[in-house]
Amino acid sequence: MPESPEIPESPEISESPESPSNIVQVWLTELDRTLQAGDIAAALDLFEDDCYWRDFVSFTWNIKTLEGKEDIERMLTATLDSVKPSGWVLAEPATGDAAKAEAWVNFETAQARGYAHLRLRNGRCWTILTTMQELKGFEEKKNFTRETGVSHVIEKGRKSWLEKKEEREARLGYEEQPYCVIVGGGQGGIGLAARMRRLGVPTIVIEKNARPGDSWRNRYKSLHLHDPVWYDHLPYMKFPEDWPVFASKDKIGDWLEHYTRIMELNYWSSTECTKAHFDEAAQEWVVQVIRDGTPVTLRPKQLVFALGVSGYPNTPVFEGAETFLGEQHHSSKHAGGGDWTGKKAVVIGSNNSAHDICADLWENGAEVTMVQRSSTHIARSDALMDLALGGLYSEQALANGVTTEKADLLFASLPYRILPAAQIPVYEQMAERDAEFYSQLAAVGFDLDFGTDGSGLFLKYLRRGSGYYIDVGASQLLIDGRVAVKSGQLASITSDSVVMADGSTLPADLIVYATGYGSMNGWLADLVSPEVADQVGRCWGYGSDTPKDPGPWEGELRNMWKPTNVQQLWIHGGNLHQSRHYSNYLALQIKARMEGIETPVFELQESHFTH
């Protein structure tokens, strides 16, 4: 990654003309020449017909994948004059051969320094990912440019770090308005706020819980991360090297709290956002919050919703549910633990939470039945680490020089159009490796899938954010019959049981609805207005035209980390990996606007499918 403020020079290339570095450098020189000459036709000759240019903010002030030469031509035509790309050089020696070369590349634009990943096939570009890394003149102060922390010229009226911090905290949101408000102080809001702080964007994070990390602490007792540690770092400060592979919810909660303090975020906990509207005259948001019981009005220029990928808990109302005499709650309210000895529990749902909660209830003595209403993709944690993540996010990957930052970019370097083709073989391997496991699951009546097209877990996550379980042990409970599984639809609920469509009855003292969450638009409709929610349109999914992700094709996640159809309103979220990576681009977009840099957005997405 480029270190501000210098542009690394191209490494010495003393290799043969057929070396991948030479091949790539020749290509880069040609790209540079044609783009600087404005000769788009010549530039397009450098691409294969089957080509993809994915851009994170550096050309498009958007998150955009251009597919094929026509798309690229349209993008270059629209952006070249203002972006003025230049200085394309290898950041390190390229790899591969004449047939297939791969390279990390530095470049710059009129406004920013960029970092790119490039794949050539027979000397022409198949994929290029261009990303903005820092705005010129607004670099983060770190390493060589870190602050001194104290003036060594002593003058009267010097204030200590603590005094300045306390004054700033007392002022911001009252005498002085933040440039940005982030609604939601979970992992997403915290990581984004850290980037804002580094960039000098005055920001307040609004969080209804009492302490940073409570959004994790408040979940069921047995919850651990289902993704391994290498995938989960926050920006700037990595977990220590003895951090467990799968941290428990409380440990993550504590880490988020320490991180928030260490990064000196303006984090308003015990604060609820009650309403927000855009003040057209002032061109700013008016955000009503209740802080520790006292109403406060904030007037930020930019408003970010970081309330999670999910909206409100989704609890389907089954006929007769109101007559149920036992306890019933949504999975988000399931605390875990307790003594359920001799009690019967029915868990409706078969994704991550459903499995974890079944295991939790079984561990605590309950007789548990999982009700599976639709087929589910199961990926065993070990297999996922070995086959799907290991090359990018593992101790071995680090040892191979694949830093977290590089892994994030490599992960992003295959556009969503071609990602499934790359993922399918992984899951074919997984099906083969764990064949016995899958047949045992099928034998107890569990309805399995690997995604519509066999592309597995990550694409299910991108398309619909649901439909899978990363097996961390609960599948074995199903296989062994320690937790029963019942596939099919629910008919109704009685005072003491769940009745299935096939007429069978599941006696129940407890019903847990692990039935997921609504659309992210729910937050917007509620906190701003249904009209604004409609104007933003559907969030998440990329128009794959697969179940729960209708077309048209978008090629990027809808509304995430990029301009929406509502001005100065942004959506942030995703898992720890996405929050870490994409918060960089969102923060740069907001910083550019604060500094009055022109940010012409190329082809703002259309909005549709609010719900």
Pairing of strands 377-380, 271-279: unpaired
Q: What letter would DSSP give residue 283?
A: T
Give the H or E element holding residue 463: helix 456-464
Spatial separation of the C-alpha atoms in residues 583 and 566, rounded to whole Å: 19
Q: Does 162 bind a second copy (CB under 8 A)?
A: yes
Q: Does 472 bind a second copy (CB under 8 A)?
A: yes
When the beta carbons of 30 and 250 are compared against a second copy, the nearer one is 250
When the beta carbons of 183 and 483 are compared against a second copy, the nearer one is 483
Residue where the block lists tokens 């191979």: 400
Q: Does 322 bind a second copy (CB under 8 A)?
A: no
Within residues 195-214, the interface with a second copy by CB under 8 A covers 198
When the beta carbons of 252 and 500 are compared against a second copy, the nearer one is 252
Query: CA triplet 209, 214, 220: central angle to 5 degrees?
Result: 125
Interface residue with a second copy, options 224, 291, 417, 608 (CB under 8 A): 224
Q: Does 244 bind a second copy (CB under 8 A)?
A: yes
Residue 336 CB neighbour total at 10 angstroms: 17
Spatial separation of the C-alpha atoms in residues 20 and 23, rounded to whole Å: 5
Interface residue with a second copy, options 97, 167, 382, 545 (CB under 8 A): 382
Q: Is 190 helix (H, G, I), strand (E, B) or coil?
A: helix
Q: Does 240 bind a second copy (CB under 8 A)?
A: yes
Q: Does 294 bind a second copy (CB under 8 A)?
A: no
Q: Does 317 bind a second copy (CB under 8 A)?
A: no
Q: Does 243 bind a second copy (CB under 8 A)?
A: yes
Q: Does 246 bind a second copy (CB under 8 A)?
A: yes
Q: Does 218 bind a second copy (CB under 8 A)?
A: no
Q: Does 144 bind a second copy (CB under 8 A)?
A: yes
Classify burial at 99, counting beta carbons within 10 Å of its beta carbon; exposed 0-12, middle 13-18, buried 19 or more: exposed
Interface residue with a second copy, options 37, 41, 99, 262 (CB under 8 A): 262
- Residue 386 one-letter amino acid: D
Q: What letter would DSSP give residue 498?
A: E
Q: Kindly indicate which of the ranges 110-118, 241-249, 438-446, 534-542 contains the residues binding a second copy, using the contact rule CB under 8 A.
A: 241-249
When the beta carbons of 364 and 487 are compared against a second copy, the nearer one is 364
Cβ proximity of 475 and 383 under 8 Å: no
Q: Does 14 bind a second copy (CB under 8 A)?
A: no
Classify burial at 503, counting beta carbons within 10 Å of its beta carbon; exposed 0-12, middle 13-18, buried 19 or more: exposed
Interface residue with a second copy, options 12, 49, 147, 432 (CB under 8 A): 147
Q: Does 8 bind a second copy (CB under 8 A)?
A: no
Cβ proximity of 144 and 66 under 8 Å: no
When the beta carbons of 106 and 605 are compared against a second copy, the nearer one is 106
Spatial separation of the C-alpha atoms in residues 290 and 538, rounded to whole Å: 28
Nearest distance from residue 212's CB to a second copy, in Å? 12
Nearest distance from residue 355's CB to a second copy, in Å? 10
Tokens of 489: 């639809």
**HSE toward the beta carbon, residue 267, CA cutoff 13 A:** 29
Q: Does 363 bind a second copy (CB under 8 A)?
A: yes
Residues lying near a second copy in the complex (CB under 8 A): 140-144, 146-158, 160-163, 198, 221-222, 224, 229, 236-237, 240-248, 250-251, 254-255, 258, 261-263, 359, 362-365, 381-382, 395, 398, 471-474, 476-477
